[in-house]
Amino acid sequence: MKKRQAADLAVLGGSRTFTDPLHVGRPNIGSRERIFDRINRILDQRWLTNNGPMVQEFEQKVADYAGAKHCIAMCNGTVALEIAIRATNMTGEVIVPSYTFIATAHALQWQEITPVFCDINLDDYTIDPEQAERLITPRTTGIIGVHLWGRPCNVAALEKLARRHNLKLLFDAAHAFGCGYRHKMVGQFGDAEVFSFHATKLINSLEGGAVVTNNDELARKIRLMKNFGFSGEDNVTYIGTNGKMNEISAAMGLCSLEEIDHFIEINRRNYTHYREQLDGLAGIKLLQYSEEAPCTYPYITLEIDEPRTKLSRDELQKILRAENILARRYFYPGCHRMEPYKSYFPNSHLLLKNTEFFMQRVLSLPTGTAVSPDDIENICDIIHCAVENAQLVRSRLSEKHCAV
């Protein structure tokens, strides 16, 4: 690692490390030749949407990869989650972690279902099944577990809990396509699981999502619901909406799937390089991935221990952003502190102590095919320099804040 001097940091008057911003979630782009070839075929066939051949092929390949019987592709992950919620007849109250992307809560509230926020474990930072059980009331109809950063939540405990109380169980698997839990791939658990194929995900279809399930009747129902309830050319048998994926999105998804092994290898390389570069740095903990099940290493997530680093997570984020490294605070400040939930449940933070603690410490760094080993060394060099000169950097950040 290059030894950066404190004076080199942009917040202390040095020049920015990166001319162009280096983002978290920069899209993985597969073979342009294959993408354009598929797009040309779509244009030649003039079949742009309505369950075309690209969508059908994408659904089959996603189902095969996840080991699920059914995959229903959608226009995005949020609509997929909304339809899965409605298809499983969730009503009343549904237990979810607050430490998740806001879409998980909105997908419920949009349908006038109350999201009941559950705390997380500090072992894996996912929903705590023991607290979830304490939150069950006569109005509870389901639980939504969230797999976080490619690390599955406690599926076994949640499945037992759902069976014991006769609750529906969905998993928001937006972060976990290609990952495994014990001896099975994510996509085979609960009543159904929901993937996101947004541009920021390991596999992207520009925008897109999918519901995967092993339940034949549920899959049939979801297929109806994502296409206005049509069960034939002019026969509507169920209320539905327009959740269809288009052909060009499916083409992009297929091209991504063809290179998934390459994308995973790049992510693994990046994760290993970050781990080596940050090893031993006081107060900086890189969240680890288990080698016991398939893993895609999709996120580089740091936990910042301010008493040891002498810098807060937010101060470190400002330092990195000054260098054009657009690190992200996932999922700050928590769903319970966003509207409308902070107005609906103003005291919910009292039951979310682990969430409150953890969301002040998390910072995600750039990874994926847009990030090189040299980029990683520069990022880690800046972090080392900031921590080693924490008092000086904090003083300068404080001066700048006062000046504003």
CA distance 194 to 226: 14
Alpha-carbon gap, residue 46 to 248, rounded angstroms: 11
Residue 24: what pLDDT?
94
Please compute the mean of the pLDDT values over residues 356-360 and round it to a whole number: 96
CA dist 215 and 87 (Å) reads: 12
What count of other Cβ atoms lies within 10 Å of the Cβ of residue 283? 18
Q: How far apart are CA 46 and CA 40, in angstroms?
A: 10
Give the residue extent of every domain in the chain. Answer: 6-27+260-327+366-403, 32-258
CB atoms closer than 10 angstroms to residue 384: 19
Report the pLDDT averaged over residues 314-321: 97
- CATH number of the domain located at residue range(s) 6-27+260-327+366-403 in this protein: 3.90.1150.10
326, exposed or middle or buried, with CB in 10 Å at 0-12, 13-18, 19+? middle
User: Residue 321 above 60 pLDDT?
Assistant: yes
> Which pLDDT tens digit goes with each residue over 211-222?
999 999 999 999
Q: What is the pLDDT of residue 348?
A: 95
Q: What is the pTM for the complete model shown?
A: 0.95
Exposure of 104 in the CB half-sphere (CA atoms within 13 A): 32
- Residue 5: pLDDT band with limits 50, 70, 90: confident
Q: What is the DSSP letter of 230?
A: B
Same fold, 6-27+260-327+366-403 and 32-258: no
Residues 38-61 have pLDDT tens digits of: 999 999 999 999 999 999 999 999
- Amino acid 403: pLDDT: 42
Helices (H), 150-215: 155-165
Burial (Cβ within 10 Å: 0-12, 13-18, ≥19) of residue 64: exposed
Each residue's pLDDT tens digit, 7-22: 889 998 899 999 999 9
8 Å CB contact between 130 and 119: no
Which of 180, 177, 150, 176 is CA-nearest to residue 289? 150
For the chain, count helices (H), then strands (E): 15, 14
pLDDT for residue 400:
64
CA separation (Å) from 110 to 80, 99, 103, 138, 240? Answer: 13, 19, 10, 21, 15
pLDDT of residue 38: 98
What's the CA gap between 317 and 355, in Å, rounded?
Answer: 19
pLDDT band at 401, cuts 50/70/90?
low
- CATH number for the segment(s) 32-258: 3.40.640.10
Contact present, 368 and 26 (Cβ < 8 Å): yes
pLDDT at 4 over 90: no
Average pLDDT (365-387) is 97
H or E element that contains 353: helix 353-358
- How far apart CA 121 and CA 46 sit, in angstroms, is 50
DSSP for 11-61 reads GGTPPPS-SS-EETTPPP---HHHHHHHHHHHHHHT--SSS-HHHHHHHHH
Give me the pLDDT at residue 399, please: 78
DSSP codes, 1-17 = -----GGGSGGGTPPPS
With beta carbons less than 8 A apart as the criterion, state whether 153 and 127 touch: yes
Question: What share of the chain in percent tops pLDDT 70?
Answer: 98
Each residue's pLDDT tens digit, 230-243: 998 899 998 999 99
